[in-house]
């Protein structure tokens, strides 16, 4: 147990008991407990395997490379269609966790094996994400914006493309693009 994560378990609120059970399961699988993104993260050889996090309606294990796991129990959830690699297992009670403990340990052990084998999730390339017409016009008309966008990391580019594509109305897409141009020009991602 890593004392840096204790605050997470102490303030566990409605998920306190569930968090403790998830913690014990992860530690029983010989993972190292670390604090990342304000949550307990369990690693092997400095590689993230699973993270505990909670929401209003559920708490969850997040398998960083869950897309690589076979899911015979059909418990892995892709949070949104744009999430490529991680998968969640969601819980609404500590009792659910106790019932699933052998299955969870099996999933964790397979995730560890995948990490040790160096397996990687094949991610879609940025060019495979749709470019909203409104943004295409902006970069066609302004080579400086185009160059700044192309110099961003692929993850930052995807973040913008997804953000720009979400609204149904062109006016909203245009507004998002206009507000984001200064960030892009400064080499920053959407949430930097």
Give the tens place of pLDDT for each residue, 104-142: 999 999 999 999 999 998 877 777 777 899 999 999 999
The overall pTM is greater than 0.85: no
4-40: per-residue pLDDT in tens? 999 999 888 899 999 999 999 999 999 999 999 999 9
List C-alpha distances in Å: 13 to 16, 19, 23, 38, 137: 5, 10, 15, 15, 48
Q: Are 44 and 112 in contact (CB under 8 A)?
A: yes
Q: Are residues 81 and 136 in the same domain?
A: no
Structural domain contains residue 121: no
End position of a domain, from candidates 67, 97, 116: 116
Q: How many domains does the chain have?
A: 2
Give the pLDDT score at 84: 79
Band (51; pLDDT cuts 50, 70, 90): very high
Give the pLDDT score at 105: 97
Q: Are 43 and 31 in contact (CB under 8 A)?
A: yes
Domain span including residue 17? 3-116
Band (71; pLDDT cuts 50, 70, 90): very high
Q: Are residues 136 and 158 in the same domain?
A: yes
Q: Are residues 44 and 85 in the same domain?
A: yes
Exposure class string for 52-83: b at 16+ Cβ within 10 A, else e:
bbbeeebbbbbbbbbbbbeeeeebbbeeeeee
Q: Are residues 19 and 94 in the same domain?
A: yes
End position of a domain, from candidates 60, 86, 116: 116
Give the pLDDT score at 29: 97
CA pair distance 68, 126, nearest whole angstrom: 20
What's the rounded mean pLDDT across residues 67-74?
94
């Amino acid at each position: 147990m890593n004392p840096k994560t204790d605050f997470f378990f102490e303030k566990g609120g409605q998920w306190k008991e569930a968090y403790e059970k998830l913690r014990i399961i992860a530690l029983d699988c010989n993972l190292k407990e670390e604090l990342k993104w304000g949550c307990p993260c369990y690693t092997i050889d400095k590689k993230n395997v699973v993270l505990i996090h909670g929401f209003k309606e559920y708490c969850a294990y997040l398998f960083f490379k869950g897309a690589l796991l076979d899911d015979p129990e059909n418990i892995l959830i892709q949070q949104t269609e744009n999430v490529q690699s991680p998968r969640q297992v969601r819980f609404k009670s500590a009792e659910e966790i106790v019932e699933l403990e052998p299955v969870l340990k099996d999933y964790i052990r397979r995730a560890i094996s995948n990490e040790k084998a160096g397996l990687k999730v094949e991610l879609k390339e940025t060019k495979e994400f749709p470019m909203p017409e409104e943004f295409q016009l902006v970069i066609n008309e302004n080579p400086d914006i185009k160059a700044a966008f192309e110099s961003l990391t692929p993850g930052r580019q995807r973040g913008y493309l997804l953000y720009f594509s979400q609204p149904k109305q062109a006016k909203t897409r245009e507004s998002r693009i206009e507000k984001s141009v200064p960030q892009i020009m400064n080499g920053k991602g959407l949430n930097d």
